[in-house]
Amino acid sequence: MNNQTMSSNPSIALVTGANQGVGNEIAKALAAKGYVVYLGSRKLENGEKAAAAIGENAKAIQLDVTQQESIDAAVGRIQNEYGRLDLLVNNAGISHGGTAPKSPEELMATGRAVNVSIDEVRTVWETNVFAVIAVTQAALPLLRKSPAARIVNVSSGLGSLTWISDPECWAREHFGIVYAASKTALNAVTLAFAIELEKENIKVNATSPGYTATALNNFQGTDSLEVGSREPVRVALETDGPTGSFTGPEGPMPW
């Protein structure tokens, strides 16, 4: 750790899945606010391109959130370089287990409870649910060294059981076990960490970007990345906000 790092004392953030999409927009906004941002990317070269485009506050870091070895190595590097973490954004997510892009219609056709592939469920939940637990647990020793630690989990309105259980809600017909239910589970994970960490003054919140055009939905979303990243960025930057909340572009959301 050099003297310059110590004296300037910037806030340190890690954003998973930050080489593209909403994660990249969040990383850009944090870097613009003076944060040193680690851009987690499964393929390091993609992260390096994204970091170069953002500028000197951005650092690419190899991070496959489904591999414990990769998680431990990434956390170890942040420990060596800064010794703490102020903000963790669990943004990495996938909508299906295949390689070919799928339209929202295709996702729904293959994600229904009556015909869903258990392998596909496992693949998506591995990234969207279990990886969030693994990355958060690994990052906790560094977050505990921050005076204002926050964890932000990027969720989805589709994960809201309150919405889904309302017969009038538009989201009801889009609820499937692969992606949407993984976000319901993520919301539960968010609350579990929020309850546990409140006594340590570490804030844990879930936020939905809304229906944003990303690779997740084959770029069929109606909102731009800039619009979609607005609420996650607001929550990430809020050092004195609540904990255990779920918000979206329109404000508070029902669990």
Residues with a known catalytic role: 179, 183
Q: What is the DSSP string of the chain?
A: --HHHHHH---EEEETT-SSHHHHHHHHHHHHTT-EEEEEESSHHHHHHHHHHH-TTEEEEE--TT-HHHHHHHHHHHHHHTS--SEEEE----S-SSSS---HHHHHHHHSTTT--HHHHHHHHIIIIIHHHHHHHHHHHHHTTSTT-EEEEE--GGG-HHHHT-TT-GGGGG--TTTHHHHHHHHHHHHHHHHHHGGGT-EEEEE---SB-SGGGTT--SB-HHHHHHHHHHHHH-TT--SS-EEETTEE---
Backbone torsions φ then ψ of 223, nearest 5 degrees? -100, 150
Strand 251-252, strand 246-248: pairing: antiparallel
Q: Tell me whether strands 203-207 and 150-154 are parallel, antiparallel or unpaired.
A: parallel
| Cα 51 → chain centroid | 17
